[in-house]
Structures are given as structure tokens and as C-alpha cells.
Amino acid sequence: MVGIREIAKRANVSISTASYAINGSSKVKTETRDRILAIANELNYIPNMAGRTLKKQKTNLIGVYLTNYGGAFYGELVSGIHDFLHQHHYDVIICSSERAHTFIPEKMVDGAIILDSTFSTEKIESYAARGHQMVVLDRELSHQNVCSVLLDNRGGAKKALLALEKKVTKKIYLVTGPPGTYDSNERLAAAKKCLEERKLSYEVILGDFSKESGRQAAREILQKSEKEVGIFCLNDEMAIGMYSVFQKSNWKIGKDIHIVGFDNIEVTHYLRPRLTTIDYSKSDWGKAAAEKIYFMLNGKQPSNQLVDVKLKGGKSVGSI
């Protein structure tokens, strides 16, 4: 294959000039650049990641795998990941598709951060067995090549219920995320345990973390329940959906119905009454994940981490 050396020679320029021209640097005059590019094209020169990867066995890329691109807190999370890694000379690529999983065994990325329910634990284990290093944000997994940075979902659920219990004596509804998702399962298990210990009446309504499922749950509660009940929505999106239904009913949020969410996403700051929810720093979560993968790639064995959460009080839980 033709190398940059030959292009430089034919163009009668230095190797660095040829390299600048090919990489589109403004350090080379347009005229010179065009001449170099014409020679490169003529010789069918292919600069590529491939060559670099084979030589260095490293791409300095970290793959961040998300279930989809729509999550309200992804921006802050990914910014937290990016900022840390960029400072440490790694670049981040964000992926969301099954085919992109193969970037890991193909060594297109040096490591991965995973918050992707479509990424099977079996596959992660198999990559780990091959020596690939990963940080998981959405499951527990014990392997020397995998480190987890998880939200304190159980602690958050307890705090949410503690807030509700003070105001609600009748019944508490738990509205879940999609079945099988780690965050939803953890929050639900902790909430049920809490309520059973305190012998409080509760009912589980199946949701899917979307606003629409929140609206459906609200309509169901309006239909079958009396006033003065509490709702723990396992994420904020569903709580936002609920607001739109209750605000059209004669049930007053914070009086007839008490709602707690989870995530403290930006939109909830503009709800009236303001939503009581479970808060955590999305960018700190991202930063912690970035630190772990960075340490792992540099031969260290960091320990798993739990990300602190706290109650963010709002008027959606009021006094009866």
C-alpha cells in the first residue's frame, strides 16, 4: 500500500506537509494542498484508522453505549464522561445499535461504558473473557474486566417512600419502568420491601418509563381509587405524564394525590407544583464511569461504585 512518504516524495514536500494536507490542516496553502491531494488520489492512498490500530494496538477511543438517544439525562451524563476522558486524551463515540457492539471485539474502541438494556450480560461477559474492559451503569456483574458504577436505586426508593409515608396513610401506588430493566427492578424491590416492613397498603402498576404510561396509570388511579393516596413513579417522565391527567381532574396534586418521581430531570423544575423527586448528579455519574474505564485501561483495578442520591423536596407531596 502506498504510504505518506511516497506521496511527500512525489509532491516534493516534507512528510509533515503531506500529512497536514491530507488531514485538512490549514497550515498548508490551498494550492499546495490541492496538489498533494491530487497525487494522493492518483496513488489511491488510503489513510485509515486501520493502519493506526494495527500499529499501535490502541485507538484511544471509548465507546459509550446507550439504549437509545432520547433519554432526558443522557446529555449531562455523556458530557461528564466526555469531559474527563477528553482531558486524558481519549475520545468518546456514542453508539446505540446492536451492530455497534462488535466495535469492542474488533478493537475499534479501547474500552466501553454501557447503559444499554439491549446489550446482553452474556455478551458483555464474553467480551470480558476476551480481555476487553468495560464499565457498566445498568447491571451488577462480577468480572475482573468489568467495573460497575450504579445509582443507589434502593437508597433512593427508601427516601421517596419516607417522604410519601409522612403524608399518606391510605395506599401507595408504585408505577414501574419496563419489566427487566435494572433501575426499575431495584427501585421496585426496595420500595416493596419498605412498604411491607411498615405494613402499608400498596399496589404495583406496570409502566414503561414513558409519559404516556404515566398518563395511563393516572387515569387508572383516578378511576379506581379514592383521594388521598400516594404515587411513587419510578422515573420523572411518568410523573410528568401524570401531571397532565391530574391537572385536568378535580384532584389537586399535593393535596388529594401525592407524587414522588426519580431522576430530577430538567423539565420537572418547571412543573407546578414542583415535583418531589430523587436527585443525583448525572455529570458526576458520567465522570465516575470515565474514571473507572481510564484506570482500568491503565492497568489498575478500580472498585465498583454506588452513586449517591438524595431527596429533592417539592410541593407535589403536601400536607393533607
* Contacting residues toward a second copy, per CB under 8 A: 21-26, 33-34, 37, 40-41, 46-54, 57, 68-72, 74-76, 78-79, 82, 86, 91-97, 99-103, 105-108, 120, 122-123, 126-127, 129-131, 266-267, 270-272
CB 267, min distance to a second copy, A: 6
CB 71, min distance to a second copy, A: 7
CB 224, min distance to a second copy, A: 28
Closest to a second copy by CB, 173 or 294:
294
99 Cβ contact partners less than 8 Å away, ≥ 6 residues apart: none
For residues 51 and 130, give the distance between their C-alpha atoms in angstroms, rounded to a whole number. Answer: 22
For residues 317 and 146, give the distance between their C-alpha atoms in angstroms, rounded to a whole number. Answer: 40
Closest to a second copy by CB, 127 or 173:
127
Q: Are 147 and 300 in contact (CB under 8 A)?
A: no
Task: Look at residues 108, 104, 149, 150 and name the one whose alpha carbon lies nearest to residue 129.
Answer: 104
CB 40, min distance to a second copy, A: 7
Element (H, E) at 232: strand 229-233
CB 22, min distance to a second copy, A: 6
Q: Where are the alpha helices (DSSP H) in the chain?
A: 4-11, 15-22, 30-42, 49-56, 74-87, 121-129, 153-165, 182-197, 211-224, 236-246, 282-297
Closest to a second copy by CB, 42 or 196:
42
Closest to a second copy by CB, 122 or 226:
122
For residues 163 and 313, give the distance between their C-alpha atoms in angstroms, rounded to a whole number. Answer: 8
CB 187, min distance to a second copy, A: 23
Residues facing residue 91 across a β-bridge: 61
Closest to a second copy by CB, 79 or 225:
79
How does DSSP classify residue 55? H
Measured in degrees and rounded to the nearest 5, phi and psi for residue 146 equal -130, 135
CB 217, min distance to a second copy, A: 20
Assess whether the previous peptide bond of 273 is cis (omega < 30° from 0): yes
147 to each of 143, 186, 187, 297, how far by Cα in Å?
Answer: 8, 18, 21, 12
CB 117, min distance to a second copy, A: 16
Closest to a second copy by CB, 16 or 169:
16
Closest to a second copy by CB, 45 or 232:
45
146 to each of 28, 114, 125, 143, how far by Cα in Å?
Answer: 45, 10, 8, 5
Grid coordinates representing 273 are 407544583
Closest to a second copy by CB, 188 or 245:
245
Closest to a second copy by CB, 136 or 172:
136
CB 55, min distance to a second copy, A: 10
Grid coordinates representing 291 are 474514571
